[in-house]
Structure 1
């Protein structure tokens, strides 16, 4: 990644209000309610309309998903955004798979097998889920599933990904941004930096060719 001389942008004006809005967007997106309230209070910002809408419930859903209590997360999701999981099959599969993994983690192998047969197996009608189903079923072959080649499916970062996806889907359903302004800004900055790096590489290649000609 390119390093830019700070002198190139040290005189660029930055609107403090924009910075505060970016920070608040991040706090709201990630359900940091108390911090968001304190931030608004200490900065004197006007409280955005509906910024706290369902934040507590979203936070509970996220926590339940992170803890592996997927059924409770699904129940609350249905309460907050009816029919979302019926329409988002990928998300529903991921949450059901979290419950399956939680059963395995609790060494409830018989219950896990029954759950897989009744709740996960129907997804096998679609080819897109076959590989995932095979990976999850492979966990059943081990007395210690967390020692299997598919152990990553039992790790917290896997739950984190699903919890993040669920949070984004809920935000989109209630007409709020799926990504915080900070995340979007970082993504845009990364893309711009990569493009500039590529262009610089082309320029340097042309210079080398001219020097060697």
Structure 2
């Protein structure tokens, strides 16, 4: 029994339009045998790709697996990520430029996201005058040259129209996840310069899972949908 048989079962269910119950799906899963070493390699790949050096070192020691790259190569990416996550965008930009100035010179989208994040940090600190001035001097030209950025700029500026920006319709920009998104974009760009994959194998598997579920939803197939990836919670969908 291998993972291909699971997808074959799902495919058969789609063809006859009967779907598959949660109980039947769990029974199929119990028949799958995945080697622990393979799971360990996937975990280590994720830790290295995302730049979690200490965790990767400890995991490598515990499992006896050797990382695909020298873990000291993670240091630059770690410093950039930490700067973004604490909201110090100027330092993040300086660190990236020290690492490889071409990253931001050749990637206007990434440069915009960094400047947008700096604007967000000014708004977070209620430095509204500085935020307006920064938007006018640093971001307005970028928006004019790249219309695709205008919507994000407008969303960010709209935060200042609310007494409690974090509770506004655009409050997601002030969430920690926004910093993580920018840090992730930078991490991927730096990995490219090292000729490494920009996404981990685990991330690709999760993307495939979400895509597969969207395809089943479009076809109105009854199946056990993973509604919470963090806890692997399955909820049986109902045909419309």
TM-score, length-scaled by structure 2: 0.71
Return the alpha-carbon distance in structure 1 between the equivalents of residues 40 and 157 of structure 2: 47
1:96 aligns with 2:98: no
Secondary structure, counterpart of 2:101 in structure 1: coil
CA distance in 2, matches of 1:142, 1:198: 38
Q: How many angstroms does 1:143 deviate by?
A: 6.0
Q: Quick check: 2:46–2:201 contact (8 Å CA) kept in 1? A: yes
Q: 1:132 to 1:12 in 2, by over 3 A?
A: closer
Aligned partners of 2:207, 2:168: CA distance in 1, in Å? 35
Deviation at 1:58, TM superposition (A): 0.9
How far apart are residue 195 of structure 1 and its match?
A: 4.8
- 1:63-82 residue pairs with structure 2 within 5 A? 63-82=82-101
CA contact (8 A) 1:71 1:96 kept: no
1:186 alignment partner in structure 2: 206
Give the corresponding residue for 2:191.
171
Return the offset for 1:76: 0.9
Deviations 1:92-141 (A, max 9, x none): 11111111121222232332222212211111222212222222333344
Provide the residue aligned with 2:178 in structure 1.
Answer: 158
Specify the alignment match of 2:40 in structure 1.
Answer: 20
Aligned residue in 1 for 2:51: 31
Q: Following the alignment from structure 2 to structure 1, what is the Cα–Cα distance between the partners of residues 57 and 211?
A: 32
Shift in Å, 1:22? 0.2
Q: Is the 8 A contact 2:48 2:67 kept in 1?
A: no
Query: Mean Cα displacement is larger for which, 69-78 or 125-134?
Result: 125-134
Q: Deviations over 1:163-186 (max 9, x none)?
A: 222212222232222111111122
**2:74 — aligned with what?**
55
Kindly report which structure 2 residues correspond to 1:99-178, keeping only aligned pairs within 5 A, or say none: 99-125=118-144, 126-142=146-162, 145-146=165-166, 148-178=168-198
Q: How many Å apart are 1:81 and its aligned residue? A: 3.0
Alpha-carbon distance in structure 2 between the residues aligned to 1:198 and 1:151 = 31
Aligned equivalents of 2:157, 2:99: Cα separation in 1: 31
Whether the 8 Å contact between 1:28 and 1:51 is mirrored in structure 2 is no
Which is further off, 138-147 or 120-129?
138-147
Label 1:95 to 1:200 Cα distance change in 2 as closer, same or farther (>3 A). closer
Alpha carbons of 1:195 and 1:130: their partners in 2 closer, same or farther (altered >3 Å)?
closer
1:25 Cα deviation (Å)? Answer: 0.8
Unaligned runs of 5+ in 2: 1-18, 223-240
Give structure 1 stretches of 5+ with no counterpart: 203-213
RMSD: 2.8
